[in-house]
Amino acid sequence: MIVAALALGIIVGALLGLVGGGGAIIAVPALVYGVGLPLDEAIPTSLIVVGAASAVAVLPRLRRGVNWRLALIVGSAGVATAYLGTMVNRLLDPGVLLLIFAAIMVVAGIRMFMPIRASGGPCALPDGGIRWRSCLPRALATGAVVGFLTGLLGVGGGFLIVPALTLVLGLPMSVTVGTSLVIIVINSIAGFTAHLGDVQIDWAVTAAFAGTAMAASLIAGRLARGLSDTVLKRGFAVLVLIVAAYVAVQAIIALVG
């Protein structure tokens, strides 16, 4: 179990460092199918792992790669809805939750193949500024939706934040990655806090997973600066779709069986 956690932590950390999201997409299935944790334990564990790895991954991007104002707005908007998502989580069957998880992954993966508007979209100006009048409502709505899904599915929201920041808000990938990582940290803290009442953590597995994820995220974060936006987006989208197919099959088998 520990060996599997160490190996899978490298994959999760690398994803977070490269594209600013997607870590929990791997973390939750990895903890359930790779490490063998039940879903109710995998969810809070993944939030610890992804939150810690994201905090480390953002370090190389602190100076120029984060829009702090947007990150705080989107992140804060999701704090309350994370608690709502946790309440709904306790009412649903784990197989149903995994199917919802897979469906959202498919939508996010397909959206990431779409081109970004050259004009900068409703938020990002061509010079790197933000159109706050048109952007603020979208940012608040994005934060609320991602926060709800953080509590519901145990994800930091990166696989939704990355498409939202690039496609809905129009940010360039160079700023999206760092901004997404900050939002993931905020969402992970809110989501984990919402699960505190019934949380059960295997701290040995968590420490092994988080340790390798943090190291891998820091290394990948430095490597990512030499890769193009298109390569990062499409690679992320392909991985999301592959994992979505696997999770969907496993969830259907569990529900039918």
Q: Measure the CA–CA gap between 25 and 8, rounded to whole angstroms.
A: 12
Q: Measure the CA–CA gap between 187 and 51, rounded to whole angstroms.
A: 8
Below-70 pLDDT ranges, the chain: 20-22, 24, 115-122, 124-129, 155-159, 198, 225, 229, 257
| Domain parsing of the chain, residue ranges | 2-256
Dump pLDDT digits (tens) for 80-93: 898 898 889 888 88
The pLDDT of residue 129: 66
The pLDDT of residue 119: 46
Angle at 189 between CA 240 and CA 227, to 5 degrees: 40
Q: Which residue has the tokens 């340790």?
A: 211
DSSP 13: H
The pLDDT of residue 208: 93
Dump pLDDT digits (tens) for 157-206: 666 777 778 777 777 777 887 888 898 888 888 888 887 776 778 889 99
Residues 6+ apart with CB under 8 A from 21: 15, 156, 157, 158, 159, 160, 161, 162, 180, 181, 184, 236
The answer for 72, left when phi > 0, alpha when psi is -120 to 50, beta otherwise, is alpha
- Give CA torsion, residues 104, 17, 228, 165, to 10 deg: 40
